[in-house]
Structure 1
Amino acid sequence: MDNSSSSSRVKQTARTIEFELKQNGPYILAGLGVSGGLLLLANRNIPAIGIPILSSAADRVAYALRWTGLEGISMVTAIWCVIGVRSKYGIEPTSSEGNHHLQMTQRILTNTTESFLAFTAAKLALASVLESNNLRIIPALSGLFILGRYTFDAAINHPARTFGYTINAVATFTAYGLFLYKLLSGGIHSNLLPFSLR
């Protein structure tokens, strides 16, 4: 009996994964394509903008923090959505029961906050180990993040939200991946011990 129920759960899981891939696969592929294209385009064109030469880790982190304002726009938008729903429906700030719209906007705000914090941590860590001539990746990742957040939020009730989620995930995982690569490729001690604030 245990074996048959385990087998049916595996089959059900396989059907669910297959259904999700059929429904969301095109959006995932489109998100990966757009992300990859934008990163390649940024890699070729951002140096023309004139990224400053910043030799200290503190200056590079400060440069990355400046771009956090761009990502912060997604937080402001999510907060205004919650405020708008509360004012439209006259809901007390502490009560979300019985109002689907307020619950949805609060979930969007929570999701946006989590994504913002995870991405910001990755971006700042990456900036601390990047060489000055590679700082052009910071505005590219910030642009990807904000594009991903807005396309995700715009299609929140449609499978197309996977497109925005994919772009957002590419920005975050690229930042973490590059950080770990830089940290481990030169040796952990070489990146951590000589860390100078000035």
Structure 2
Amino acid sequence: MAYSSATTSTTRTGDSCCRALEFELKKNGPYMLAGLGVSGGLLLLANRNIPAIGIPILSSAADRVAYALRWTGLEGISMVTAVWCVIGVRAKYGIEPTSSEENRHLQISQRILRDTTESFLTFTAAKLALASVLEADNLRIIPALSGLFILGRYTFDAAINHPAHAFGFTVSTVATFTAYGLFLYKIFSKGIHSNLLPFSLR
């Protein structure tokens, strides 16, 4: 009897999870698909047009990492914006807001800052790792990924309380996972040591 009750409870929990997942997909699915489409289109567009901008050919891994670090300044704008958002809310409502509405604004701004920090650090690590193993003539992917990341972060923050935030989340996630995916591919396609040992400091 107890076994039957437990089975029924598990089944109900599973059904509830399936319904919740189906509801989330219906609500966020179109925005996620739009994010995937825009990300793919922008990466293809960048791959065709960025070489015309004159990306430098850097044979040294250290130079490529330094080049990727320069683009971190662009991504860092999202961090500056998130910090100023928190400062602005605290300046308006005080360090410790007294009303529930004021607290809600502070919690939202702090959540934006936390999410932005986590995304920024994760993407930066992926981008720098990728730059260290890229071929010299493929460096154009770095500004493309940086642009994609900053687009994703700002569209996510702008729609933080709307299902449309799934669009921004998808775009920035594509940038991060593309960087990690390419890094792992470069590492394992030719063997770990063949990619790591030639890391020149000059």
Normalising TM by the smaller chain, what interval? over 0.9
| Residue from 58, 62, 81 that aligns with 1:77 | 81
The answer to whether structure 1 residue 53 and structure 2 residue 65 are counterparts is no
Report if aligned partners of 1:54, 1:60 keep a CA contact under 8 Å in 2: yes
Residues 129-159 of structure 1: CA deviation (Å, up to 9, x unaligned): 0011000000000000000000000000000
The answer to whether structure 1 residue 156 and structure 2 residue 126 are counterparts is no
| Residue from 165, 177, 181 that aligns with 2:185 | 181
Structure with greater Cα Rg: 2
Distance 1:116 1:96, change over 3 A: farther
Instruction: Please give the secondary structure, in 1, of the residue aligned with 2:155.
Output: helix
**Amino acid aligned to 2:167:** F
Structure 2: give runs of 5+ residues left out of the alignment.
Answer: none
**Amino acid aligned to 1:187:** G
Q: Distance in 1 between matches of 2:67 and 2:11?
A: 54
The answer to whether structure 1 residue 32 and structure 2 residue 36 are counterparts is yes
The answer to whether structure 1 residue 139 and structure 2 residue 133 are counterparts is no
Q: Which residue number corresponds to residue 6 of structure 2?
A: 2
| Residue from 13, 19, 31 that aligns with 1:15 | 19
Following TM superposition, the consecutive aligned residue runs of length 4 or more in structure 1 with deviations greater than 2 angstroms are 95-98
The answer to whether structure 1 residue 114 and structure 2 residue 155 are counterparts is no
Structure 1 residue 189, shift from structure 2 partner: 1.1
The number of residues matched between the two structures is 195
Report if aligned partners of 1:96, 1:103 keep a CA contact under 8 Å in 2: no
Residues 19-38 of structure 1: CA deviation (Å, up to 9, x unaligned): 11101110000000000000
Q: Distance in 2 between matches of 1:56 and 1:2?
A: 62
**Amino acid aligned to 2:26:** K
Structure 1: give runs of 5+ residues left out of the alignment.
Answer: none
Percent identity over the alignment is 78
